[in-house]
């Protein structure tokens, strides 16, 4: 079973708007990562946030982590058509080697 | 600097056949992980190789096996193919070999397997 669960499953926004997606997980983690996947292609790492961090920024991306609620959010500001993709959160448990992925959020940015 | 490369990109097999997928990790990386991604789903962890040993395995049957070579490249073998094995198979590499906690993974473009 997949550990992280993204919400919403799909999101359609206008170019220039912000996109927010959420991820929930079930047990304690070492870190949480976000990846992007363009249709049928490989995944690209976006950002990693460790369990002792609360917020990280990378360009137009902002990630927050709330370990008390076991949740994370990814915000994409000023979206562009090129941001159209599926976004996945992935969790790493303490003393674990693997990344456990959620089912993803499909984001469509309309021109 | 080449990233993660996988071959073949696409292949079609029939039920009962066997398939081998190949992966070359990013330069400087010593750890290779394999994932299966069914259509519309997130990637599912199959196993991870480090120092030519399977270090961790996901919930996949023994029909799925792998190997890592001294140059860190890796193969994924699937025997007795089932229709349900149709998926995108992704290889990912990382350089965290000696550390417990996994950092960023670098993914290849995947091998699309269709089982008829």
How far CA B18 is from CA of B63, B98, B113, in Å, comes to 9, 33, 11
Q: How far is A52 from chain B (nearest CA, A)?
A: 14
Q: Does A16 sit behind a cis peptide bond, omega within 30 degrees of 0 on the bond before it?
A: no
Contacts of B112 in chain A (CB under 8 A): 40
Q: How far is A90 from chain B (nearest CA, A)?
A: 9
Q: Record the tokens describing residue B67, joined without a space.
A: 């190997």
Query: In terms of pLDDT, which residue wins out, A96 or A42?
Result: A42
How far CA A76 is from CA of A47, A62, A101, B96, in Å, comes to 12, 7, 20, 28
Tell me how far apart the alpha carbons of residues A81 and A77 are, in angstroms, rounded to a whole number. 12
Answer whether A104 sits within 8 Å of B105, measured CB to CB: no
| Per-residue pLDDT reduced to its tens digit, A17-63 | 999 999 999 888 999 999 999 988 999 999 999 999 999 999 999 99
Q: How far is B40 from chain A (nearest CA, A)?
A: 8
| Per-residue pLDDT reduced to its tens digit, B98-115 | 555 578 899 999 999 999
Query: In terms of pLDDT, which residue wins out, A4 or B46?
Result: B46
Question: What is the average per-residue pLDDT within B76-85?
Answer: 98
Q: How far is A77 from chain B (nearest CA, A)?
A: 23
Answer whether B102 sits within 8 Å of A103, measured CB to CB: no
| Per-residue pLDDT reduced to its tens digit, B1-32 | 679 999 999 999 999 999 999 999 999 899 99
Angle at Cα A65 formed by Cα A60 and Cα A69, nearest 5°? 145
B66 touches chain A (CB under 8 A): no
Query: Using 50, 70 and 90 to split pLDDT, how confident is the model at A1?
Result: very low
Nearest CA in chain B to A43: B107
Q: Could you identify the residue written with the tokens 């670098």? A: B106
Answer whether B41 sits within 8 Å of A88, measured CB to CB: no
Contacts of B104 in chain A (CB under 8 A): 33, 45, 48
Does B97 score more than 70 pLDDT? no
Contact (Cβ atoms closer than 8 angstroms) between residue B6 and residue B22: yes
Tell me how far apart the alpha carbons of residues A104 and A22 are, in angstroms, rounded to a whole number. 10
Answer whether B107 sits within 8 Å of A42, measured CB to CB: yes
Answer whether B90 sits within 8 Å of A44, measured CB to CB: no
């Amino acid at each position: 079973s997949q550990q992280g669960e993204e919400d919403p499953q799909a999101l359609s926004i206008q170019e220039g708007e912000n996109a927010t997606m959420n991820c929930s997980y079930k047990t304690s983690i070492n870190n949480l990562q976000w990846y992007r996947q363009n249709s049928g292609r490989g995944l690209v790492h976006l950002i990693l946030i460790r369990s002792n961090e609360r917020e990280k920024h990378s360009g137009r991306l902002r990630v927050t982590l709330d370990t008390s609620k076991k949740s994370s959010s990814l915000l994409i500001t000023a979206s562009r058509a090129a941001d159209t993709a599926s976004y996945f959160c992935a969790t790493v448990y303490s003393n674990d080697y693997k990344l456990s992925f959620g089912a993803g959020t499909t984001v469509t940015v309309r021109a | 600097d080449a990233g993660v490369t996988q071959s073949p990109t696409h292949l079609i097999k029939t039920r009962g056949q066997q398939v081998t997928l190949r992966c070359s990790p990013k330069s400087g990386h010593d750890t290779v992980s394999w994932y299966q991604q069914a259509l519309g789903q997130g990637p599912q962890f199959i196993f991870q190789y480090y120092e030519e040993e399977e270090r961790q395995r996901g919930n996949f049957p023994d029909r799925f096996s792998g190997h890592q070579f001294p140059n860190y490249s890796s193969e994924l073998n699937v025997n007795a193919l089932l229709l349900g094995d149709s998926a995108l198979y992704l290889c990912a590499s990382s350089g965290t070999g000696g550390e417990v906690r996994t950092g960023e993974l670098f993914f290849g473009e995947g091998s699309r397997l269709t089982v008829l």
